[in-house]
Amino acid sequence: MAVRRARAAAKPTLPIADFLVIGSGVAGLRAAIGLSRAGRVLILTKGSPAEGSSIYAQGGVAVASEEDDIALHRDDTLRAGKGLCREAAVQVLVEEGPARIQELIGWGACFDKAGEGYAFAREAAHSRDRIMRAGGDATGTEMVRALLGQARSLPQIAWRDHHFTVDLLKDGEGRCNGALVLDESSGAVRQVKARAVVLSTGGAGQTYARTTNPSVATGDGVAMAYRAGAIVEDMEFVQFHPTALYLPATPQFLLSEAMRGEGGILRNIAGEAFMKRYHEMAEMAPRDIVSRAIWNEMVATSARHVYLDVTHLNPGFIRERFPTIYATCLRYDVDITEEMIPVCPSAHFMMGGAWTDTYGATSVPGLFAAGEVACSGVHGANRLASNSLLEGLVFGARAAEAAADYAIRLGPSRNGAAARKAATSMLPAEERSDQLDMEKLRNSLRRLMWAKVGIIRNREGLQSAIAQLEKWEERLKGRCQTRRELEIQNMVTVGRLVAMAALQRAHSLGAHFRSDFPEELSGWDRHIQLSASASDAKRVV
């Protein structure tokens, strides 16, 4: 095994931290703010903070209004989750959500208003108008702006952008006590020790050929947690957003569910409205039903897309309500006030992830998780629209509280000296005679996941996918050094976990649909948990 030496200029420059937060979206920033009251915090971000999924969240954040009731929000969430939500986690979400939003407003977040009060909209599967938004369709951007402003005002919080977390570290007693970190600019690698670690790395949409997620959503956190021995849960439940822009050579830009909430109509390529044939709520049906309906229409009409039609709505209203969507589509020569928008489902959100309790604690002591990387139980088999940003706020705060309490119980820190002396090196790479085209593998992986582990699945396809993914995993061992290569390795791992869980759930439920088992069968209410310590995740634990 050959190890290349780090360049002389690569000096250990990472500050000593009591707490390590990996990721800088809504969940990570809220966790860092909370942890700053208990000690020094270091936030690590691969690339830059502006690349994360949180800023792309358009529709809004769900929170009970004065005319609403948290019990109704809870019931809607449970209903959308097809009975697989953990009720305790959902209760935490809806009870603590309003206070977290008010806290965010106190930090400068500006949500849209209607007269003297806030404007509340409705999205699919919600029984009340409870979606708060900012800038019409730029809610995530505004929430991150406010959280960044608050976090940057706190001297206890330090940042390092362009630092990719390779793996988690554990001490001799199995407790997570830091991470192995790659400096993307120099290629230098070093250990960063901490008393507790919070994972907030987001989702894994890039494992699919079509996704609304940004390029950074490669499943790093789930893969790292799994390799560290953490239980991952509900990986089969991948939510496909029904409406992403479909145009050749253009980004798969999300078209918010709020467009259907405001009266948008889905039409097939013949111009026929079709959703009433699939569900009584038509365009406002749960996302999994809408996505499969669109898929069925595409297959029936031999088309690559359907249309989202808002041309019957007032043009001025459209431009004011959806300014980002309007401007983006216009950039690609689609005037949504005059033309129907070509759309296709795309991978959007991972309901599964690293299992956590209601305070973000994983099954590995010292490791906490919040946001899309975690499986807190609030989403069940299908996420209710606009609950994700709220989840990030609520469970980011809770993970911070739990991590701080854990550090107190752990006693005085013993990491400081070790962190200062940690050697800087390069990642080792095995010398192999076979050549592997990483970009070709990445594209093949994404096509494989889309075709065989996508919106509609079956046993034969899943078994074939698992066999191929296992071959890729074996070939990748010991040869990944760059951020790009390490991301691909993580994508393959996450893809295998999704496919394995999907194979084990031999029935359909929520976002998971098996064409060979289309009905919900007995045992539907179990959670499939996978662990590297359990026969390399080849059985339910």
Q: What is the pLDDT of residues 295-312, one digit of tens each?
A: 999 999 999 999 999 999
The predicted structure's pLDDT at residue 10: 41
Position 294 pLDDT exceeds 50: yes
Task: Compute CA 397 distance to the chain's CA centroid, rounded to the nearest angstrom.
Answer: 17
CATH number, position 317? 3.90.700.10
CA distance 224 to 199: 9
Residue 228 counted as domain residue: no
CA distance 290 to 59: 17
The mean pLDDT value of the chain amounts to 89
Number of domains making up the chain: 2
Q: How confident is the model at residue 411 (pLDDT cuts 50, 70, 90)?
A: confident
**Residue 205, class by beta-carbon neighbours within 10 Å (0-12 exposed, 13-18 middle, 19+ buried)?**
buried
What percentage of the chain has pLDDT greater than the value 90? 76
CA distance 474 to 466: 12
Which of 318, 346, 374 terminates a domain? The answer is 346
The predicted structure's pLDDT at residue 434: 62
Position 152 pLDDT exceeds 50: yes
Q: What is the pLDDT of residues 168-218, one digit of tens each?
A: 999 999 999 999 999 999 999 999 999 999 999 999 999 999 998 989 999
Give Cα separations from 263 to 3, 266, 344 (angstroms): 60, 10, 18
The predicted structure's pLDDT at residue 534: 55
Q: What is the pLDDT of residues 308-347, one digit of tens each?
A: 999 999 999 999 999 989 999 999 999 999 999 999 999 9
Residue 308 counted as domain residue: yes
Predicted TM-score (pTM) of this structure = 0.90
Question: Which of 179-193, 250-264, 432-446, 520-534 tops mean pLDDT?
Answer: 179-193
Give Cα separations from 200 to 28, 112, 171, 222, 283 (angstroms): 5, 27, 21, 10, 32
SS3 assignment for 297-351: HHHHCCCCCEEEECCCCCHHHHHHHCHHHHHHHHHCCCCCCCCCEEEEEEEEEEC
CA distance 123 to 120: 10
Position 420 pLDDT exceeds 60: no
Residue 272 counted as domain residue: yes
267 in catalytic set:
no
| Average confidence (pLDDT) over 217-232 | 98
Tell me phi and psi for residue 76, to 5 degrees: -65, -40
The predicted structure's pLDDT at residue 47: 85
Which of 316, 331, 346 terminates a domain? The answer is 346
Residue 203 counted as domain residue: no
Q: What is the pLDDT of residues 343-398, one digit of tens each?
A: 999 999 999 999 999 999 999 999 999 999 999 999 999 999 889 999 999 999 99
Q: 58 by DSSP, 3-state: which? A: coil
The predicted structure's pLDDT at residue 2: 37
Residue 367 counted as domain residue: no
- Of 176, 228, 197, nearest to 18 by C-alpha is 197
Query: Which domain range does residue 292 map to?
Result: 241-346
CATH number, position 516? 1.20.58.100
Which of 346, 368, 402 terminates a domain? The answer is 346
Residue 124 counted as domain residue: no
CA distance 246 to 210: 10
**Token reading at 189:** 């690698």
Residue 24 counted as domain residue: no
Which one is catalytic: 100, 130, 287, 383?
287
Q: What is the pLDDT of residues 422-451, one digit of tens each?
A: 455 666 666 665 668 999 999 999 999 999
The predicted structure's pLDDT at residue 421: 45
| Residue appearing with tokens 């500050």 | 15
| Average confidence (pLDDT) over 271-282 | 95
More confident of the two residues 455 and 435 = 455
The predicted structure's pLDDT at residue 124: 75
CA angle 106, 112, 113 (to 5 degrees): 95
| Average confidence (pLDDT) over 157-177 | 96
**Token reading at 153:** 């005002």
| Average confidence (pLDDT) over 267-272 | 97
More confident of the two residues 35 and 138 = 35
More confident of the two residues 398 and 12 = 398
